[in-house]
Every structure is written in C-alpha cells, then in structure tokens.
C-alpha cells in the first residue's frame, strides 16, 4: 500500500506541475492536431485506408515523443531528481508515477486526435482503438525510462528519438496490424506481451538509470 501511495503522490505531483506550467499538454494537443490537418491535405484523394492508419501512427508516435521529451524537465530544473532519489521510497515508484502521468497526457492528446482522425479519414474499429491504448502503455513505459536516460545528457532532444524510435517500431507494427489485419487479436496479444515485457524491464532497471 505504501508503494501505491508513493506512486499516487508522484503522479498527482506531475499532473499538478503540468496544470500549473502548461508546458507539455498544450504542445502535444497542437502538434497532433496540426499533424492530422497536414496529413489530411497531403494524402491524395482515393488513397487506401491502410495509408491513413499509417499516418495516424506517425502522429501518435511523434506526439508521444514530444511529451516524453518534456517528461523529466521539472526534475532536471532545480535538481529535484536528486531529492527524489535520496527519499526512502522504492525508486521504481518514481518511474511508475512518471509513466502514469505521461500516459495521461498522451490519452488527453488522443481524446482530441482520434475524433479528428475519424472526421478527416475513416472510423476506427474497436480493435484499432484497443491497439492504440495498448501501444500507449508500451511507449510510455519504455519512453519514460529512455527519457530519464536522455535528460541526464546535454543533447536530450537528439538522444531521445534515437533511443525511443527503434523501440517503438514493434508498437507501430502491432498497432497498424491490429487496425488493418483480419487477425487483429494476434496483434493485440503481441502488443500486450510487449507492454508486459518492457514495463517489467523498465520498472526493474530504473534504479540503475538514476543512480551511478
């Protein structure tokens, strides 16, 4: 229970910091909206539905990257991460709190993006929606860890995409597959497996990322 209380306190702190600073969510909302508008005009008329799904995933992955790039900035300012690392709570709670907060921002961005996608392109099936949700969990889990690694360096903006994009490829494969394949269940299972494996790996390795 103490662990969950720590995670709750850390998540609430992240949401509060974002509500006050408004550094991340407005940028994610504007980015995903602008991207879908550009894709709407860029995609030739009569293009296949599969192409539209591909563009949706481009928008989702880069919107997530935008959120992840800002994820640890409040901790970097004023050196707060040192303070959190010194606290006697389990250090993985810091990662879990950040992952839940980042996931919340991504879901909020998608609450705007998905209706806009339906308006501009085509309806989303239940399997496609489930694929998006499962991929969100995966990209936020692994992305929070990679973002913590990148924030320690000087070239965070360059390093983060290099770390996250290769790891996001299976998520895009699974997400697009769930949307367009007749065997969407297999792709959803694949995404579920990815989430489980990478969430456990990130949870277990966070301590080594934030300590020497």
Residue 141's Cα: distance from chain center in Å?
Answer: 7
**Of the two residues 87 and 119, which places its CB atom closer to other proteins in the complex?**
87
| Burial (CB count <10 Å: 0-12, 13-18, 19+), residue 155 | exposed
Task: Select from 64, 89, 114, 168 the one that contacts other proteins (CB under 8 A).
Answer: 89
**Of the two residues 89 and 146, which places its CB atom closer to other proteins in the complex?**
89
Binding of other proteins by 3 (CB under 8 A): no
Task: Select from 3, 4, 5, 26 the one that contacts other proteins (CB under 8 A).
Answer: 5
Task: Select from 15, 27, 80, 167 the one that contacts other proteins (CB under 8 A).
Answer: 80
Task: Select from 15, 85, 108, 129 the one that contacts other proteins (CB under 8 A).
Answer: 85
**Could you tell me the CA-to-CA distances from 149 to 87, 160, 164, 171 in Å, in that order?**
20, 8, 11, 21
Task: Select from 1, 42, 45, 86 the one that contacts other proteins (CB under 8 A).
Answer: 86
Residues 6+ apart with CB under 8 A from 125: 179, 184
Binding of other proteins by 13 (CB under 8 A): yes
Binding mask 17-56 for other proteins (x = CB under 8 A): x--xx-----------------------------------
**Could you tell me the CA-to-CA distances from 137 to 49, 52, 102 in Å, in that order?**
25, 22, 10
Torsion, Cα of 145, 148, 151, 157 (10° steps)? 20
Q: Which residue has the tokens 């407005």?
A: 26
Residues 6+ apart with CB under 8 A from 12: none
CA neighbor of 179 nearest in space, from 140, 129, 118: 129
Task: Select from 74, 131, 143, 174 the one that contacts other proteins (CB under 8 A).
Answer: 74
**Of the two residues 77 and 183, which places its CB atom closer to other proteins in the complex?**
77
**Of the two residues 40 and 156, which places its CB atom closer to other proteins in the complex?**
156
Q: For Cα atoms 199, 192, 2, give the angle at the middle one, nearest 5 degrees.
A: 40
Binding of other proteins by 152 (CB under 8 A): no
Binding of other proteins by 87 (CB under 8 A): yes
In the complex, the residues that contact other proteins under the rule CB under 8 A are: 2, 5-6, 9-10, 13, 16-17, 20-21, 74, 77-80, 82-89, 211-212
């Amino acid at each position: 229970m103490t662990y969950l209380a720590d995670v709750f306190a850390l998540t609430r702190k992240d949401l509060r910091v974002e509500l006050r600073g408004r550094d991340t969510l407005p940028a994610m909302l504007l980015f995903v909206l602008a991207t879908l508008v550009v894709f709407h005009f860029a995609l030739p008329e009569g293009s296949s539905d599969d192409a539209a799904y591909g563009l949706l995933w481009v928008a989702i992955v880069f919107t997530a990257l935008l959120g992840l790039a800002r994820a640890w900035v409040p901790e970097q300012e004023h050196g707060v991460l040192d303070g959190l690392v010194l606290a006697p709570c389990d250090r993985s709670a810091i990662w879990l709190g950040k992952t839940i907060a980042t996931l919340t921002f991504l879901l909020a961005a998608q609450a705007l993006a998905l209706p806009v996608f339906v308006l501009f392109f085509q309806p989303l099936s239940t399997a496609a929606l489930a694929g998006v949700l499962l991929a969100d969990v995966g990209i936020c889990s692994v992305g929070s860890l990679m973002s913590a690694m990148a924030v320690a360096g000087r070239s965070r903006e360059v390093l983060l995409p290099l770390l996250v994009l290769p790891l996001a490829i299976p998520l895009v494969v699974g997400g697009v597959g769930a949307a367009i394949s007749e065997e969407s269940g297999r792709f959803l299972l694949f995404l579920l497996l990815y989430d489980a494996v990478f969430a456990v790996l990130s949870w277990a390795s966070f301590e080594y990322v934030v300590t020497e």
